[in-house]
Amino acid sequence: MERGRMSIGILTSGGDCPGLNAAIRGVAKAASGEYGMRVIGIANGYRGLIEGEARVLEAADFSGILTRGGTILGSSREKPFHDEGDQTDAELGQSKPELIIENYRRLGLDCLVAIGGNGTQSTAHLLSLAGLNVVGLPKTIDNDIAGTDVTFGFHSAVDIATEAIDRLHSTAHSHNRVMVIELMGHKAGWLALFAGVAGGGDVILIPELPYRRESVAETLRARERAGKPFSIVVVAEGALSAEEAALDKKERRKRRAAMSWPSIGYRIGAEIAGDTGMETRVTVLGYLQRGGTPSPYDRLLATGFGAQAARMIAAGEFGKMVAMRNGEIVPVPLSEVADRTRKVPPGNPTLSTARLVGVGFGD
Ligand code: F6P
């Protein structure tokens, strides 16, 4: 390997989303074009580092991928510091972190760029503490990574979900029905909140605001009394009732696993039908929220995050995640990000706006 030329490894980890390839392209074009670095693509998230599956990326590899969904590198939900998954440390004969450090050295990496969500950044932080040079990029449709005002993938998912909600209005109105749409977002309700407000949802249920059935029913009845016997109810997959919120996590998981509904949206649809007598239908938007081309906003954001990562590497600024803070793309210490989730705070402006225009949150 030519001496003096830095080599950086890039991996994408966790759930995929629109914008991953734009981020890879942003890092790779800036690192190779501006700073003359060698770029190595690591396959399938941290699993590629454990298994040593990596290859040098040539300019042709990251050309023409700005608008492509998914990730050219592949992804996994490998959590190297949790001894679980396909192979245990014992079966491997070495701990996964040790294998990662060994392969990082063998590949001759000067830095690892970890593009991913909460779990990815927490692993990046531990690898940084273990002595590797790491830079994180915040990715997830859930928008729930601490330390940054926004993650790429989020706005593309808001666009997809909003377009779906728009379509549900016409069928709800035509049949005087309550249409429930379940969106992704396990721990935080950002996606349901933003798409719900953008799509004119009448009720929005998010994990941060445990709901009461009677409150949901009353919002829908009030609409009916006002001559609108149709409504849109937007539910985050992590939404929970006030009763569930009072349980400890273990008990709550047990109850959820035992429920006869395939997912929360169906349960809430049945609750609404039972409590109000209104005809109700359910749509689970699922993985459509993670597929396809990134929105122009996410292309801009992912490219900006990627270019900033290259700047940080050139400046020797490691152990940090690229973040958007008050409109500026800046580095934040991974120690402030790891093991945290950014939830919708009670005073969030979009939440306040929604309440002012009459959206019910079931609380
Ligand atoms: O990446 C975040 C997310 O899309 C969550 O919103 C969702 O609950 C989860 O991933 C789905 O995980 P998987 O892709 O492993 O099914």
Domains (range + CATH), the chain: 7-152+294-336 (3.40.50.450), 156-291 (3.40.50.460)
CA-nearest residue, atom 4 of ligand 1: 15
CB 187 within 8 A of CB 340: no
Q: What's the confidence (pLDDT) of residue 2?
A: 56
The 10 Å Cβ neighbour count of residue 103 is 19
Alpha helices per DSSP H over 83-230: 89-92, 96-106, 118-129, 154-175, 190-198, 213-225
Residues facing residue 135 across a β-bridge: 113, 320
Ligand 1, atom nearest to 153 Cα: 1
CB 84 within 8 A of CB 119: no
The answer to whether 61 is a known catalytic residue is no
CA-nearest residue, atom 7 of ligand 1: 184
Alpha-carbon gap, residue 110 to 134, rounded angstroms: 9
Task: Check pocket membership of 141 for ligand 1, CB cut-off 6 A.
Answer: yes
Q: What's the confidence (pLDDT) of residue 1?
A: 46
Task: Check pocket membership of 142 for ligand 1, CB cut-off 6 A.
Answer: yes
Task: Check pocket membership of 143 for ligand 1, CB cut-off 6 A.
Answer: no
CA-nearest residue, atom 2 of ligand 1: 15
Ligand 1, atom nearest to 14 Cα: 1
Verdict on whether the full-model pTM lies above 0.85 = yes
Q: What's the confidence (pLDDT) of residue 86?
A: 72
pLDDT along the chain (363 residues), means of 10: 81 98 98 98 98 97 97 96 78 91 98 98 98 98 98 98 98 98 97 98 98 98 98 98 95 91 96 98 98 98 98 98 98 98 97 98 97
Q: What's the confidence (pLDDT) of residue 83?
A: 74
Alpha-carbon gap, residue 281 to 233, rounded angstroms: 10
Cα(334) to ligand 1 centroid in Å equals 22
Alpha-carbon gap, residue 314 to 308, rounded angstroms: 10
Q: What's the confidence (pLDDT) of residue 91?
A: 82
User: Which of 118, 190, 290 maximizes ligand 1 atoms within 8 Å of its Cβ, making it the mutation to test the pocket?
Assistant: 290
